[in-house]
Every structure is written in C-alpha cells, then in structure tokens.
A and B are shown apart, each in its own frame.
Chain A
Amino acid sequence: AQSVTQPDIHITVSEGASLELRCNYSYGATPYLFWYVQSPGQGLQLLLKYFSGDTLVQGIKGFEAEFKRSQSSFNLRKPSVHWSDAAEYFCAVGAGDGGSNYKLTFGKGTLLTVNP
C-alpha cells in the first residue's frame, strides 16, 4: 500500500526567505507524486505533479519540487516566500494504473506560517 510522510507539522519562515517542505513516500512502483496547497477557508489546489522524466518539476506560484528515487523523497521548494504563501501544504502519491484505482494518498500536511 502507498503512504506519504510529511515530517514537519508546522514550519515558520520569514518573508523573502527560502523554503523547503519535506515529503517521503512509500510505493512499490514508480509513483505519481503531487503537491497540493490549501489556503485558509479554501479547498485544495494542485501546485505541481511528477510522473516521469525530468526529476525537477515546476509548478504554479513559483514552486518547484525534486523527485529523488534513492531517497523516496519529493521535496517542495521556493526560493523566496511571500506572505500569501501562508497555507497548509499536502504531499500526495497516486497509483498510476488507472482503472478503478483512482486513489490519491495524502500526507498529514505541513502548515506554513510566514512572518513579515
């Protein structure tokens, strides 16, 4: 069964500082990996996804993530954080075989606080 671990429950950074949110996954085959963001009072929004190919993927809002198979990781990064990035971030892994196996497994989330 697939699983996702986000080791950091809460991270605080200063505006303008760089950001890295950690994600480790467990899955038997090549995973489909995703980062979603949930702003306060909102539903989740897809930030970026990885299926195959280039291990560094770019997403919306200036975010990027790097897939490292040897470390089973898919960490999210941003070079300079803005106050509007304050939100909860969820890493997710999905099986890629379609059919009725449409399940995304989400991590427990990392809450990001941005100090002015």
Chain B
Amino acid sequence: DVKVTQSSRYLVKRTGEKVFLECVQDMDHENMFWYRQDPGLGLRLIYFSYDVKMKEKGDIPEGYSVSREKKERFSLILESASTNQTSMYLCASSLFSTWYEQYFGPGTRLTVT
C-alpha cells in the first residue's frame, strides 16, 4: 500500500514564525503535491514537484515555498506565518505516468494565532 505521512496532525504556531510541514512517501513516486483545504473552498493546489529539486507553482503559492531535496520528501515552508494561513494542509504523491491518481496523507491542521 502507498503510504503518505505528514509530520504532524495538529500544529499551533504564532504569527511571524517560520513553519515547516513535512511530507514523506514510501512508493518511489516522482510527483508530490501540497494542497490547502478550507471549508467551502475545496482543495487548492499550492505547489507541486515532478522531480528532485524541481517545483512548480500551483494556484495559491503566495506566502509559501517548498523544498524537495530527496525524492521521498517534500516540505512546505511558511516563511512568516499569518493568521490567514490557518488551514488544513494535505500532501499527495503520484507516479509520473499516472499523475491524476494521487495518494493523500491524513493532513496537518495548522492554526496560526
């Protein structure tokens, strides 16, 4: 079974802090994704990566950056957290050839106070 794990289920940070969200997948998938999920807005793509050190902006990249130094790990970075970044963050991965079949982690619920 594909397993996508996220470093924390719940996280509380203060405004202005630098926040790291980590995602690890164990199926040698080329693609990895970070989404943000908000009630009434569905899932919105923040960034994705199709290879080590490669990244592409999604729909809402502002205020975020990413890092992919190893194939299995994809990090989302909030350089200076703000209250409007309080949300559920979902990581996903997929094979290059079947990019649409994405396997999701359980999510990290981030609260910025």
| Chain A contacts with B in 87-116, Cβ cutoff 8 A | 90, 94, 98, 100, 102-104, 106-109
CB distance from A39 to the nearest CB of B (A): 10
| Chain A contacts with B in 23-78, Cβ cutoff 8 A | 32, 34, 41-46, 49
Q: Which residues from B are CB-within-8-Å of A44?
A: 43, 90, 92, 102, 104
Q: Which residues from A are CB-within-8-Å of B26?
A: none
Interface size class of B (residues with CB under 8 A): 20 to 34
B106 and A100 within 8 A (CB): no
**B residues in contact (CB < 8 Å) with A:** 4, 31, 33, 40-45, 48, 50, 56, 58-59, 90, 92, 94, 99-107
User: Which 10 pairs from chain A and chain B are nearest by CB?
Assistant: A43-B104, A108-B42, A106-B43, A102-B99, A44-B104, A106-B42, A94-B100, A43-B106, A43-B105, A109-B42
**A residues in contact (CB < 8 Å) with B:** 9, 32, 34, 41-46, 49, 90, 94, 98, 100, 102-104, 106-109
12 contacting pairs across A/B (C-beta < 8 A): A9-B40, A32-B100, A34-B100, A43-B103, A43-B106, A44-B92, A46-B101, A49-B100, A102-B50, A102-B94, A103-B45, A109-B42
